[in-house]
Amino acid sequence: MKRKLPLIAFLLALAGFTYWAWWRNREERELVLSGTIEAREVAVGSLVGGRVAQVHVDEGAAVEPGQLLVSLEPDLVDLQIREQEARVAQAQAALERTEKGPRIEELERARVAAQAAAIDRQRFEALWRQGVGDKRDYDQAVVAEKTAQQTFLEAQRGSRPEDIGADQAAYRAALEQLAYLQRQRRELDIRAPSRAVVHTMDLRPGDLLAPNQPALALLESDQLWVRVFVPEPRLGEVHVGETVAIEVDSFPGRQFAGRIVEIRDRGEYTPRNLQTREQRADLYFGVKVAIDPAPELKAGMTAFVRPRTGGRDGKTG
């Protein structure tokens, strides 16, 4: 029995060494890439700016599409909107008046005025021919009659197309200005464009926010991705469109799905997540991996990416 113990120990050591060599060789052959999960950052602000009236969320809060984040004071814009609404009403009334033309009462008044002018002209003509009237009075009566007749004719024909077109243009311009002010009014409510997490925000009621300036930064939780670096000798093992398995320390034994969406055309000698002297001596290519939506994954987690052999969509190039 004592003679067999050294043999058994030798066999166990040999088996352990064999397993270690096999495991090391397997690790060397398997491509495992590491990186940090990132989320797309969205800068949200207002086109008009103003004074902050209320802040509705805090940093780190999860928000839904359309959720109100920050409200700006609306007093000045509301005043401009009310003034423009009055101008729109005036322009609309003017257009309707022009399109309808003269009222029946106005037509009748023009007709009566034309008849009266004709009677005056006849009376002055008779006096002038009898030699008791002034020729100048008769000429003025003729002019007045023609003017009254033309006024009555214009009333019968209604508004000119040019006048209607001008009033229509004025009405449209008033409506467009009102729509512009209403759009500015909506800009006073800063809302979330998508599902996200509030990343950075430093606003308080009373703060002044400049136009076209970011008010807060959001991280889109549905737009996660990780940047990894592949050594040049193994670049042929990854392809755009290839599906990958993603693992994180927070969920051991669980794999999340992802897809390679970009491989950089230019290599790097000092990728940001490789620090050893031996690694810096090699050439690496950045690869961007989009992660399928998973609420468990958060920006900042360390991720390990394992390309799946034969998992590329489409034809193999």
Q: What architecture (CATH level 2) is domain 31-40+222-312?
A: Beta Barrel (2.40)
Tokens 């959001």, located at residue: 218
Place of tokens 């008009």: 48
Q: What average pLDDT does the chain have?
A: 80
DSSP secondary structure letter of residue 199: E
How many other C-beta atoms lie within 10 A of the C-beta of residue 273? 14
Query: In sequence order, which residues have a C-beta less than 8 Å from that of residue 175 and are 6 or more positions away?
Result: 88
pLDDT recorded at residue 309 = 55
Q: Where are the domains of the chain?
A: 31-40+222-312, 42-73+190-218, 78-184
Which of 14-18, 104-108, 134-138, 149-153 shows the highest mean pLDDT? 134-138
Q: Is the predicted pLDDT of residue 202 greater than 90, yes or no?
A: no
136-194 pLDDT, tens digit per residue, is 877 888 888 888 877 767 666 666 778 888 989 999 999 999 999 999 999 999 999 98
CATH number for 42-73+190-218 (one of 3.30.70.260, 3.20.20.70, 2.40.50.100, 3.60.90.10): it is 2.40.50.100
In the structure, what pLDDT confidence band is assigned to residue 315 with cuts at 50, 70 and 90? very low
Residue labelled with tokens 């008033």: 174
Contact 84, 174 (CB under 8 A): yes
Cross-strand bridge partners of residue 248: 303
The whole-angstrom separation of Cα 72 and Cα 185 is: 9
Tokens of 188: 């006073």
pTM, 2 dp: 0.60
Is residue 209 within 8 Å of residue 50, measured between CB atoms? yes
220-247: average pLDDT = 85
Q: Do the domains 42-73+190-218 and 31-40+222-312 match in fold?
A: no
Amino acid at 112: V
Reading the block at residue 161, the tokens are 């197309």
Q: Is the pLDDT of residue 131 over 80?
A: no
Q: How confident is the model at residue 2 (pLDDT cuts 50, 70, 90)?
A: low
Residue 237 pLDDT greater than 60, yes or no: yes
Higher local confidence (pLDDT), 57 or 220: 57
Q: Give how far the C-alpha of residue 18 lies from the chain's centroid of Cα atoms, to the nearest Å.
A: 60
